[in-house]
Structure formats: structure tokens, C-alpha cells
Structure 1
């Protein structure tokens, strides 16, 4: 019984508190705040020192005297380090460009002639008829009578074998050689190709002709020697 009376008293207290909150809210809503314009402290515009409408603000005399006119930068030499704004531009003159420090000579592309019916005189030497010979560039001729030694010390005709291998490689195909004309007399030294294959490179790679010591093909000769190919290996059966 005591618990019920306590609960009822608490509920009545909550309802009374809610009524007081709602009554206060209605009173604040119905009574707006009344402001008096005379109580506001509004400054006089004349006391603020504002510029007149339409007037252009001018710099003080002291600031106007210190301000220098802007200098116009005129590009005389775009690649030069620096700017004419920091130098005296009164007597500028455009000069011709400096010439190169060294004479650069472009290598002319060699002319290539197509030579027919090649005949191998020796590995590194090719003939075209009776009056024309080409000594291949970057390799030394392997004489046809050269002999080489096998592992057991037996001699074998490596020069004749080198010439035979060159003949088999060319197979009577036409050679494109670096020469200004196909009608010369005697012997010339030139680089020749079969299709896209450089004949000198092929001979040095497989060891049938030794590259000149100063040639870029010398590394191919050393590789052939280490692998015992061609002149540095055993007879080809």
C-alpha cells in the first residue's frame, strides 16, 4: 500500500512539472523581445572618414614619390642567364649566334653496289671476274695453304677448309658491298653482306678468319678460340 501511494505522488509531481514547463514556453512565445533603436550605439558615418561615393583613392604624396615606374623587360637573348630588368638596357644590340666549338662533320652514308657471281679465293677474299677482288674489312685473310693442329698435334688443312666454308656460306649469291661503283679494277677493301648477314662477322664468329686486333670483331675471334671453332678446333668432316 505504501509503494502505491509513493508511485501516485511521484506521477502527480511529474505532471505538475510538465505543466509548469509548457506554461513558461507559451508565455515566452507570446511576449516578443522589444528592442529600442534609441538604445543602440550607432556611429556617425561622418566620424569614420569614409571616402565619398565616386571618388578615387589616391596614394599619399610621400608614397607616390617613392613608387618607381615599372620597367618593361624586352627579351633580347632568350638563352642568356639573367634578365634585362637588372642591367642597363640603354644600348642593347642583337648579335649573331656563336658558332660551334668544333667542326662537326657528318659521316656520309657509303654507297653500296650489288656484285654478282662471287668467287672465294680464300677466307676473307672474294673475286668478281678476273679483274676485281674485294678484301673483306675487319678480318685478316686466311691463306688457303694454312695448316692447323688438332688436340693430338696432327696437322690439318684449315686454310682450305676455311675457303670451302666461305664458298658454302656465299653459295654463289650476289654480295652487297660498300663501293661507289661496280666497275673498278684491281683490289679494294670493303664490307660486304649476303642479305642482311655481314660476311666478315660470320667468318669471325665461326672462326674461319681472324679479326684484326683493332676491329670490333676481335671479341668474336676470342669467343671462337675459347669454343674451339673453325681454325681453332678439329677438322670438319
Structure 2
């Protein structure tokens, strides 16, 4: 019974609150706001420091001219190309790029191949098989029949000794040579290495072959001559 009485009282309270809200809205809508002109603080135009809006002769006021400032763009190629924002793009034409001022020099890296079982024919010349010969660059071959004069004035077979020294240096090891292929016919002239040692430089340094005129190995031949090594000294025992 108490719950029913409480519910009825709450419902009556809600209805009363809604009625009061509706009545207040009708009151605000029907009563217009009444402004009193005397309450408004309107300044006197004569008291304001306003600029003159008319000219002396009563003519019309001309609008101020509008000055448009444009950013200057430097043309990349005079009379040929400029910024599309400030020039007519209808006549633009793509042209070929300018040729380089100098040609780039590209040196082709020589091909190095490994040649097996070299046979020393003489100091400065080796063979591979019966039909392939290789002459070492930058040095002059020392013929096997060459004889040299020792410090005591006697002659000794320095050419045969030079070939023997080349054989001992190679020791049947493979040669890395600048050539395009492992097979060729006849004789070629190129540079060869045993590991990282240039064979021509070794022969010139120890005096078993002389450097060609104008070769970079001339200094090594002169060094061997001053030290009396190889062909410029006494026979090795």
C-alpha cells in the first residue's frame, strides 16, 4: 500500500512540474522585450574622428588601383624556357640534352686467366703445350746461349742460368696472365703473375732479364746492375 501511495504522489509531482514549465514558456513568448531608446548609449557622429568620404568638387571617389606584385623567376635558358606561371606554356618544346663537355674515359679492365703447367723456354719466354708460347711484357728475353763476363774476366753461361732461375721461381705453378682465353695459337705477349708477384718485375729485379727501353722496369734493371746481380755479376754456385 505504501508503494502505491508513493507512486501516485510522484506522478502528481511530475505533472505539476510539467504544467509550470509550459506556463513559463507561454509567458516568455507572448511578452515582447521592451527596449527604451533612452537607455541606449548612441555616440554623436560629430564627436567621432571619421575621415572625409567626399572630394572637394563633389566627384565620385575612385577606387584605389590594385598593384599586383609578382615574384621574378630567372629563366633557366634565356628565350627558351621560363617558369610556366609567368610565360606562355603553349610553345614549350622538349629539346635534347647538351652533350658533355668532355668524354668520360672508361678503361676496360683486362681479363686475367689462369694458365697451368708453364714450361720455361728461356728467361722471359714460357710455353704451354707444343703450340702456345707466351712472351713476358716489359722485358727483353735472355737467350739461353748468352754468355756473360764475371768479375775475374772469365765467361760463364748466364743465359742458361737465367732460364734455370726462372724455372726455380715458377716451380711448375700456374700463371695468372692478362689474356682473353686459355687457348690460342702461336705466341702472345702479356703480363703474368705467380700469386701477387709480377714475373717480369722479378726477373728485372734479380738481373735475369733486362727491361725494355722506356719500360717502367728500367729502375729495377739499373738496381740489379749496380748490385751486380744475375747477368751483371758472377755465376751462382
TM tier, shorter chain?
0.5 to 0.7
What's the CA shift for 1:122?
0.3
Answer with 1 or 2: which has the greater Rg: 2
Counterpart residue number, 1:100: 100
Q: Which residue of 2 aligns with 1:115?
A: 115
- The separation in 1 between residues aligned to 2:224 and 2:99, in whole angstroms, is 48
Alignment of structure 1 residues 36-51 onto 2, 5 Å: none
Q: What is the aligned-residue RMSD (CA, Å)? A: 3.3
**Deviation at 1:179?**
1.1
Paired residue secondary structure (2:73): coil
Is 1:189 matched with 2:189? yes
Q: Is the 8 A contact 1:146 1:160 kept in 2?
A: yes
- Asked if 1:159 is matched to 2:129, the reply is no
Instruction: Identify the residue that residue 223 of structure 1 maps to in structure 2.
Output: 223
Question: How far is 1:70 from its partner?
Answer: 5.0
Deviation for aligned residue 1:233: 1.3
Alignment of 1:1-237 (within 5 A): 69-74=69-74, 76=76, 96-237=96-237
Alpha carbons of structure 1 residues 94 and 222: separation in structure 2 relative to 1, 3 Å: farther
- Residues 68 and 149 (structure 1), Cα distance of their counterparts in 2 relative to 1, 3 Å cut: farther
Per the TM alignment, residue 92 of structure 1 is displaced from its structure 2 partner at its CA by 8.9
Aligned-residue offset at 1:217: 1.1
> Is the CA contact 1:76–1:94 (under 8 Å) kept in the aligned structure 2?
no
Instruction: Give TM-score, length-normalised by structure 2.
Output: 0.62
Compute the displacement of 1:197 (Å).
0.9
Report the Cα distance in structure 2 between the residues aligned to 1:161 and 1:96, rounded to whole angstroms.
66
* Distance of 1:224 and 1:230 partners within structure 2: 7
In the alignment, structure 2 segments of 5+ residues that lack a partner are 1-63
Counterparts of 1:222 and 1:191 in 2: how far apart (Å)?
21
